[in-house]
Amino acid sequence: MMPADTVALVTGGTSGLGLAVARRLLASGVTPVVLGRSEERGRQALKSLGDTAVFVRGDVADEADVTAALDVALRHGTLRIVVNCAGVPHAAKVVGRNGPHALGRFVDVLTANLVGTFNVVRLAAERMMRNEPSEQERGVIVNTASLAAFEGQVGQAAYAASKGGVVSMTLPLARELAGSLIRVVTVAPGFFETPAVASVPGAARRELDLDLVHPGRWGHPDEFAGLVAHIIGNPMINGETLRIDGAVRMSPGLRRRSS
């Protein structure tokens, strides 16, 4: 049970998995401060979440933006929860029809998914360390990876590298922050119905569907949020990456025609 003044920073919380997490936290009495890049999406998110939620515009990879979001969070209560859902999808072959993968795109994907996650963790942890412990912990940080961290498909070199980095830093972060009574856990989702995947072309979607096992459908964001809520409430889960994928193991994606 979180203390009544608990605030959670939810990055990417204006849509998809992050919005579902913000909604779940709100229902449990936690004030979600949602960080996102788009003012318009932020407005829409607040419309669906209600007045208790807070939106802050910003980029997770930007030190000033994240610092400002943390300042806002602290004005609303005690920051005990961070859920990093901000991230960008990306698919492009290493050598495609138009030549080699653009180096700048590789850097962009790493910056949003990996550097951004680390930036939020480092700045939030420093604030959480000042909390009075509640039930022997000062805070919990949940990051979001992907199955691509383990079985990246053709066209996912950049995305897999970014999510693999999130997985790899989970244990060293948890080990270091243990001394401050802060847990760090990563969730690796399989296929979930969110705005990000709405743009996946039909052929690619049908190919992904072949990898479904049981249940034979894509996940609902609320099922992801349910796992995050369990992680937040269960002090024994720490330093680990949990898959939530209905037994999916992604195939190589050799027929994928990303360029």
Ligand X SMILES: NC(=O)c1ccc[n+]([C@@H]2O[C@H](COP(=O)([O-])OP(=O)(O)OC[C@H]3O[C@@H](n4cnc5c(N)ncnc54)[C@H](O)[C@@H]3O)[C@@H](O)[C@H]2O)c1
- Chosen residue from 194, 207, 227, 238 binding ligand X by CB under 6 A: 194
d(CA 84, CA 9): 8
| 18 CB-near residues (< 8 Å, 6+ apart) | 10, 11, 12, 34, 36, 83, 85, 86
According to CB under 6 A, which residues from 116 to 135 bind ligand X?
Answer: 116
Query: Least CB distance from residue 135 to ligand X, whole Å?
Result: 28
According to CB under 6 A, which residues from 35 to 54 bind ligand X?
Answer: 35-38, 41
Q: Does 191 bind ligand X (CB under 6 A)?
A: yes
d(CA 248, CA 191): 9
Closest to ligand X by CB, 89 vs 239, is 89
Count of residues that bind ligand X according to CB under 6 A: 31
Q: Which amino acid is at 3?
A: P
Lay out the site mask for ligand X across 144-183 (x = CB under 6 A, - = otherwise): x-x-------------------------------------
Residue 217 appears among annotated catalytic residues: no
List helix spans (H) across the chain. Answer: 16-27, 39-49, 63-76, 103-110, 116-128, 148-151, 157-178, 195-198, 202-209, 221-233
Residue ranges that bind ligand X, judged by CB under 6 A: 11-12, 14-18, 35-38, 41, 59-61, 85-89, 112, 116, 144, 146, 189, 191-192, 194-197
